[in-house]
Amino acid sequence: MSEGVIVALVGVGGTIGGAVVSQLFNAAKNRLEAYRLAQEMQADNQRLWQWNRALVDHIYKGLGPPPPEPPADLFDHD
């Protein structure tokens, strides 16, 4: 083989390898971001449930205004 063909094959192999590594990195980053968002949504859901429970208890006990305040950190994300 000539040196030009070897250089071309190494270049193509490097390009393909770089593309594969880049795709794997992006897939891992997206997966971690999705996991973080799912955790935030679950935490918000728990806060909403607790607030809803407090509102139902407030009404059931026949307490007047003001109703319970929403959690301070509800939907408070960085």
Does pTM top 0.85 for this prediction? no
Q: Check residue 48 and give its pLDDT.
A: 94
Long-range contacts of 55-58 (CB under 8 A, 24+ apart): none
Tokens 């429970």 label which residue? 53
Q: Check residue 16 and give its pLDDT.
A: 93
> How many residues does this entry show for the chain?
78
Give SS3 for 2: coil
DSSP letter, residue 62: T
- Gyration radius (Cα) of the chain, Å: 27
Q: Structural domain boundaries of the chain?
A: 1-78
**In a structure prediction context, what are the per-residue pLDDT tens digits for the chain, which is 78 residues long?**
688 888 888 898 999 999 999 999 999 999 999 999 999 999 999 999 999 999 999 999 999 899 999 888 877 766
